[in-house]
Amino acid sequence: MVFYVLRNGAHLNLYEKRLVLFSGKGGVGKTTIATAFAMSCAQRGMKTLLMQINAKDRIGEIFDRNPIGEELVELGPNLFCVNSTPASALREYALMTLKIKIIYRAVFENKIVQSFLNAIPGISELVLLGKAYYHAAVEKKGGELKWDIVVVDAPATGHGIFLLKIPSVVTSIIDSGHMFEEAERMKELLEDSNMTSINIVTLLEDLPINESQMLLESLGELNISVDYIFMNRVLENPFSADEGNILEGDSAKADSITDSLLLAARFRKSRLDLQNKYLDLLKEKIKRRRISIPYFFEGVNNQGQLEDISQRMQKQLSSDEQ
């Protein structure tokens, strides 16, 4: 039995989906992008759950809170966050299944059973993904699904692929039983592009683009579609065409204030030229709609900066020109 209701339409925008995941190479700003998107959902009146997967939390600091842990935290109107660990996900999954805490303690807190579970490859990923599935497609309050949308800050590329591959692995090696049925439901949800969206976060640099291409290909093999490429930390061009031509001249020596400024401008122009080269590479390798997020030289450390990113994101997502 499938617990969620399929929606009509060949394509739904990100705000019409139930489960939206962000992955990409480590260090590209995946958490920032996922958090900004979750904030944009909440601002649109959607009850939003931002789910971290066994992460070293930095969201709590941005929102001036204690580190986000296993307990649900309200970050603002309509916006909630949790940082799920394998242990907490297994505990919640077991309690949902067994219903009675005393049975859970007798079974899952038994040292022999714990050792057995720890020895099963992929069990941690299965229960973590199962928790995301539960929040997105099963959890109800007052007869309605509790969350309008669940946004997942998924692990970086390699671990992220393994996480999303687990349901297919399980259904390929067993063909019946409770675990098979749960894995089959997760697999159906991930493959349903009307319900689930996978988005890749990258930088306009060589290694992140190559990893993004690898992630895209791996997800394609799993029948999981990718909607958007979020290009993070994109340098904005402050120069007009004429100014750019002037900067193409000989390099200046930094022997005066004017020459120092000119040297800095030429360096910025060279970085922009390199960025354009990698943008062309991205367009060639990955045929997906692109969202551009600017570079914050001071880093993204507060809600105001997240608000800026969120507004830029909403504007591009709602535009017909991607």
Q: What is the pLDDT of residues 210-262, one digit of tens each?
A: 999 999 999 999 999 899 999 999 998 887 777 777 777 665 455 577 777 77
Q: Please give the C-alpha separations between residue 102 and each of 106, 108, 179, 208, 322, in angstroms, as whole numbers.
A: 6, 10, 22, 48, 54
Residues of the chain where predicted confidence (pLDDT) is lower than 50: 1-10, 98, 100, 102-104, 106-108, 112-113, 116-117, 119, 252, 320-322
Q: 3-state secondary structure string, 172-235? A: HHCCCCHHHHHHHHHHHHHHCCCCEEEEEEECCCHHHHHHHHHHHHHHHHCCCCEEEEEEEEEC
**What pTM does this model have?**
0.86
Contact 201/30 with Cβ under 8 angstroms?
yes
pLDDT at residue 115, as a whole number: 52
Alpha helices in 84-177 (DSSP H): 86-98, 101-108, 111-118, 123-137, 157-173
Domain boundaries, the chain: 14-238+287-317
Q: How many CB atoms lie within 10 A of CB 285?
A: 12
pLDDT at residue 173, as a whole number: 85
Task: Please report how many Cα atoms fall inside a 13 Å half-sphere around the Cα of residue 229, on the Cβ side.
Answer: 25
pLDDT at residue 12, as a whole number: 55
CATH of 14-238+287-317, one of 3.40.1440.60, 3.90.1170.50, 3.40.50.300, 3.40.220.10: 3.40.50.300
